[in-house]
Amino acid sequence: MKKRAVTSLLMLTVLSGCGGNGGSVPKFENVSVHDPSVIKADGTYYVFGSHLASAKSKDLMAWEQISSVVEDGNVLIPNVTEELSETFSWAQSDTLWAPDVIQLADGKFYMYYDACRGDSPLSAMGIAVSDKIQGPYKDLGIILKSGMSGIGDDGEVYDATQKPNVVDPDVFFDKDGKLWMVYGSYSGGIFILELDPASGFPLPDQGYGKKLLGANHARIEGPYMLYSPETDYYYLFLSYGGLDANGGYNIRVARSKNPDGPFEDSEGKAMLDAVGNPDKLFDDPVYSPYGVKLMGNFEFLNSASEPDATGEGYVSPGHNSAYYDEKSGRYFLIFHTRFPYRGEEHEVRVHQMFMNEDGWPVVAPHRYGGETIGSYKAKDITGEYKYVNHGRDISAEIVESEMIVLTADGKITGAVTGTWSLEGEHTAKITVEGAEYKGVFLREWNEAVNGNVMTFTALSGDGTAVWGSHVSEGSTK
């Protein structure tokens, strides 16, 4: 499988705890890379994103910016305006959108780049290659075009409501060594093509490939595939909504036993049915019931006993990549996000993920701080929590945390009521208002209190995610 990666800030102080980050204080350094796609090479994680931006990290916490804008002199493609002139001309654009980089058997790095006009699916996607991951990359040519008036790359008349916008590529090897590219944004949906593992180019006679979901300009984009040897599923991550601070961007996932589908959500609904309304543009409620929603807008509000903090959450998190570390068995979610009260400013974030007992990923509530999941006791779990329910909608509303208590006798009281239990070392069972959520308990670093806290992350059968972050007992204002 392809190796990929992640994220960013700077903080001090510590509260060590079992299963936390081993007592060390994580050092975060933040970067801005929109639509970060991760790859690991020579022990370093790299993320490549829109506008020819990139960054690197050894630990997924402290990030260093490599590049940031499409202009001649960018280290990735030093003469980019000439090198990709055909792409810019077709797309009527002077910038590049979300790319993906993969290393093939020849040891070289292949960048799948794309440009798009933006107010239409007039797009071009191509491949550039380099001996070194940081470039310079040389263009090998355009492989797909979209948005034309007339015949498209599949030999049929191009219809933007049914045919793909050729942007947002993710290239990956399946468990059998076949090479694939999943791609698409809005327009006719998300598609998948099989590629030649030697050259990286599409195999012949596929046109735009096979549709996995979407149509009628449904606001679904940024596909990313991750195979889990633990569950033997292919997980297709997606971003719903609009990417700006008022767009309601949120991260979803579906799964299949095959890389080219069919994909389903946790209720068994076919993702091919996740399409837009042909009579109303961007009718979000039509397709919002499809796909497991892992994360949307939220804010953790510190209690009166904790340090003053505002804006401790995310706005429009999305266009993620994901990484599975075969050695440690850990999963990571890498994405860009905006923040409460900070406008359109965005940064990369990385969160650890875990597979729940139903084989669905659940995302840790706080950014990755080097933590390893531990073996916990009931006494480690009880207490007051800041609780977030991410819901199922596509909305610009920021969900504010509410206070609940996990009592020693297994009850949940406060803003919501129910029961909780700890099974095994860290498996979480949370029942809230009659709905059961399955996930894990995890001690991790919380920047808003400068210390380790117990958390829980769990998912219901209908694909709703809930998070809890323990109120820090040792903090003072």
Write the pLDDT tens digit of every residue in 429-460: 999 999 999 999 999 999 999 999 999 999 99
pLDDT at 359: 98
pLDDT at 21: 55
Owner of token pair 């890498």: 334
pLDDT at 318: 98
Domain ranges within the chain, ordered by starting residue? 36-363, 378-470
To the query of whether residue 35 is one of the catalytic residues in this protein, the response is yes
Ranges of the chain with pLDDT below 50: 1-19, 475-477
Residues paired with 354 in a beta bridge: 362
pLDDT at 476: 36
d(CA 292, CA 274) in angstroms, rounded, equals 12
The CA dihedral of 301, 305, 306, 311, to the nearest 10 degrees, is: 20
Residue 333 main-chain phi, psi, to 5 deg: -110, 125
Provide the 3-class DSSP secondary structure of residue 86: helix
pLDDT at 218: 98
Owner of token pair 């045919």: 163
pLDDT at 24: 82
pLDDT at 111: 98
**Residue 262, preceding peptide bond in cis (omega within 30° of 0):** yes
* pLDDT tens column, 110-126: 999 999 999 999 999 99
Active-site residue, from 100, 168, 170, 221: 221
Owner of token pair 């994580």: 26
To the query of whether residue 402 is one of the catalytic residues in this protein, the response is no
Third-level CATH fold of 36-363: Tachylectin-2; Chain A (2.115.10)
Third-level CATH fold of 378-470: Lipocalin (2.40.128)
Could you tell me whether strands 298-299 and 399-400 are parallel, antiparallel, or unpaired per DSSP bridges? parallel
pLDDT at 310: 86
Nearest partner of 214 among 290, 266, 152, 307, judged by Cα? 290
Nearest partner of 333 among 220, 222, 179, 477, judged by Cα? 222
Active-site residue, from 35, 299, 306, 371: 35
pLDDT at 474: 56
Owner of token pair 């991550």: 237
d(CA 189, CA 209) in angstroms, rounded, equals 12
Q: What is the DSSP letter of 132?
A: S
**pTM score, two decimals?**
0.95
